[in-house]
Structure 1
Amino acid sequence: MCYQLVERFSACRCLYFQHAVDPCEAYRQRGHSVQEKVVLVGYTCSRHSMRWSGNKARDSTLSDSGYSSIKG
């Protein structure tokens, strides 16, 4: 079975990064499907991190979960 890793923000579920498909031997065969594996990263995207207070917006970005997909 083929897999595709998709990273999404944990609070709003917006897309952070979509990785290439990790193909199996049957990848190009008709009717074969790709299973999506979701990893939650950070907290919220910049679009959903804004809170409206009256007529002006203030940035209320919360700190992330501390998870990092990059090994260093």
Structure 2
Amino acid sequence: MCYQVVERYSVCRCLYYKHAIDPCSAYGQRGHTVQEKTVLVGYACSVHSNHRPESTYNTGVLPDSQFGSGLFPQTPLR
């Protein structure tokens, strides 16, 4: 099966980058489809980054990752 990796922003789902198709031996044959694999990157695109909810600024935790923004020191895992 052929795959195409598509990178999208994690919050707004706008397109970040669409990679070339990774073809298989059946590429181009009738009825063969390309399966899209989505990878989430970043937070939001420049159009949507100014529209984040106020609660995100106050907590220091990003809703997509649940990791702190660096405002508070993290205790390393051992």
**TM more than 0.5:** yes
Identity %: 70
5+ unaligned residues in a row in structure 1: which ranges?
Answer: 52-59, 66-72
**Structure 2 length normalisation: TM-score?**
0.65
- Matched with 1:36 is 36
Distance in structure 2 (CA, Å) of the matches to 1:41 and 1:50:
17
The Cα shift of 1:17 comes to 0.2
**Structure 1 length normalisation: TM-score?**
0.70
- The alignment partner of 1:50 has SS state of helix
Bigger Cα Rg:
2
Within 5 Å, which residues of 2 pair with 1:1-72? 1-51=1-51
1:35-61 deviation line (CA, Å, top 9, x unaligned): 00000000000000123xxxxxxxx8x
More strand by share: 1
5+ unaligned residues in a row in structure 2: which ranges?
Answer: 52-56, 66-78
Size of the alignment, in residue pairs? 56
TM superposition outliers: structure 1 runs of 4+ over 3 Å:
none
